Amino acid sequence: MIRRKLLTVIGARPQFVKASAVSRALAADGTFEEVIVHTGQHFDANMSQVFFDELAIPAPRHHLEIHSLPHGAMTGRMLERIEEVLLQEKPDVVLVYGDTNSTLAGALAARKLHLTVAHVEAGLRSHNLRMPEEVNRILTDRVSDLLCCPTAAAMANLSAEGFDRLPCRVRRTGDVMEDSALHYGRLAGERSTVLDRLGLRGRPFSLCTLHRAENTDDPARLASIVAALHEIGRDAPVVLPLHPRTRAALQRQGVPLGLTVVDPLGYLDMLALLQATRVVLTDSGGLQKEAYFFKKPCVTLRDETEWVELVEGGFNWLAGAEAGPIVAAWRAAAQARLDFSAPLYGGGTAAAAVVRALGELG
CATH of domain 4-175+346-360: 3.40.50.2000
Confidence of residue 83 (pLDDT cuts 50, 70, 90): very high
CA distances from 331 to 223, 325, 334, 336 (A): 20, 10, 5, 9
Active site (annotated) includes residue 62: no
Q: Render the burial of 145-177: b for 16+ CB within 10 Å, e for the rest.
A: bbbbbbbebbbebbeeeebeeeebebbbbbbbb
Count of beta carbons in the 10 Å neighbourhood of residue 231:
15
**For 332-342, what is the mean pLDDT?**
95
Summary mean pLDDT of the chain: 93
* pLDDT for the residue 346: 92
- Which letter does DSSP use for residue 47 in this model? G
Please state, in angstroms and rounded to a whole number, the distance separating the CA atoms of residues 45 and 229.
27
* Strand intervals (E) in 83-144: 93-97, 116-120
Residue that wins the pLDDT comparison between 237 and 244: 237
| pLDDT tens-digit map of 286-334 | 999 999 999 999 999 999 999 999 999 999 999 999 999 999 999 999 9
- 2 pLDDT more than 90: no
Confidence of residue 164 (pLDDT cuts 50, 70, 90): very high
* pLDDT for the residue 129: 94
* pLDDT for the residue 51: 64
Please state, in angstroms and rounded to a whole number, the distance separating the CA atoms of residues 1 and 40.
34
**For 110-130, what is the mean pLDDT?**
97
User: Do 17 and 39 meet the contact criterion of CB atoms below 8 Å apart?
Assistant: no
- 46 pLDDT more than 70: no
State the fold for domain 194-335: Rossmann fold (3.40.50)
Choose, from 183, 211, 230, 243, the residue flagged as catalytic: 211
User: Do 242 and 264 meet the contact criterion of CB atoms below 8 Å apart?
Assistant: yes
In sequence order, which residues have a C-beta less than 8 Å from that of residue 156 and are 6 or more positions away? none
pTM of the model: 0.89
Q: Do domains 4-175+346-360 and 194-335 have the same CATH topology?
A: yes
* pLDDT for the residue 57: 80
Confidence of residue 275 (pLDDT cuts 50, 70, 90): very high
Please state, in angstroms and rounded to a whole number, the distance separating the CA atoms of residues 212 and 245.
9
Q: Render the burial of 235-252: b for 16+ CB within 10 Å, e for the rest.
A: ebbbbbbbbbebbebbee
Percent of the chain with pLDDT over 90: 79
Half-sphere exposure of 153 (CA within 13 A, CB side): 15
Please name every residue paired with 93 in a beta bridge, in sequence order, or none if there are none. 6, 116
- 140 pLDDT more than 70: yes
**For 88-112, what is the mean pLDDT?**
97
Strand, helix or coil for residue 269: helix
- 251 pLDDT more than 80: yes
CA distances from 270 to 42, 55, 181, 198, 350 (A): 17, 13, 10, 13, 21
Please state, in angstroms and rounded to a whole number, the distance separating the CA atoms of residues 158 and 180.
25
* pLDDT for the residue 264: 87
Q: Where are the domains of the chain?
A: 4-175+346-360, 194-335
Give me the helix-helix angle, 285-293 and 13-29, nearest 10°.
Answer: 60
Q: Indicate the range of 58-72, 110-124, 189-203, 326-340 predicted with least confidence.
A: 58-72
Please state, in angstroms and rounded to a whole number, the distance separating the CA atoms of residues 144 and 51.
27
- 224 pLDDT more than 80: yes
